Amino acid sequence: MSTATLSRVTLSHLDWLESEAIHIMREVAGQCSRPVLLFSGGKDSICMLRIAEKAFRPGRFPFPLLHVDTGHNYPEVTDFRDRRAIELGERLIVRSVEDSMARGSVVLKSADEPRNKHQSVTLLEAIEEFGFDACIGGARRDEEKARAKERIFSFRDEFGQWDPKNQRPELWDLYNARSFKGENIRVFPISNWTEIDVWQYIEREQLALPSIYFAHRRPLVRRGSGLLPVTAVTPARAGETIETLTVRFRTVGDITCTAPVISEADSVAKIIAETASTTITERGATRLDDQTSDASMEQRKKEGYF
């Protein structure tokens, strides 16, 4: 392609975001000796897999995939997770909060306590087990105000703790992954993306998704300010009325604290239109633990939460 032709090429905002994310992933591969890519089967981590494909194919990824499973994840999502890893031919490591519970490193206050916040313990145990020096994840700055304080290369000390006042400058997109043994870097290649960017990228790349992201009928109860699916893990309580409604999930996580939203959006195009018009944040609408937890997201991150 001639220089004159190149000068006429106009990159879309998705091209710029993708290019930045590819650059960040390659920086991790170049600077870190034992990185890992966190993959839950959720929409953000699905985008991360595509970024990794574009960064490293036709070779293998220079890192395995890791999922910290609460043991109460939606089966549609974990089935998709396993299937996608097999399709890519990449190594998937799964470590469960239930394993940490069996070891006594996680102790629940009650049997129905949400397990999301306890993922930090299992993650730190996996980091120690495999000696990972960098964990790449799909967190975005628009998800929650504490996430907006993160650097793209976010330093964690030898205890896995995050100190927002002890982070490295990232001038001119220069990233520093240097760490001593036991320390860790959390890396967020799509930090500058928004929820609608993710959906537009999914549409452009024609990425497959777990079915629960699309509108479907599901039995639910109204609990607090959210809708809670009726499952074996979350049965209806005495006095609650079970309703069968058409809903979809904006985010996925532990069944006990991840609520759907009422929606008729059964395609990516319809989800994009719905997302563009909403005034409620992704986590604000669907993560019950953010609404009811006695620990803020920032406090949980300081304790090692991703």
Per-residue pLDDT of the chain (306 residues; tens, 9 = 90+): 555 555 567 889 999 999 999 999 999 999 999 999 999 999 999 999 999 999 999 999 999 999 999 999 999 999 999 999 999 999 999 999 999 999 999 998 887 788 888 898 999 999 999 999 999 999 888 876 666 677 788 877 766 676 666 676 666 777 777 776 777 888 999 999 999 999 999 999 999 999 999 999 999 999 877 899 999 999 999 999 999 999 999 998 889 888 899 999 999 999 999 999 887 766 555 555 554 454 555 555 555 555
**Which residue, among 139, 122, 134, 128, has the nearest Cα to 67 in the 3D structure?**
122
| Cα angle value 279/283/287 (rounded, 5°) | 130
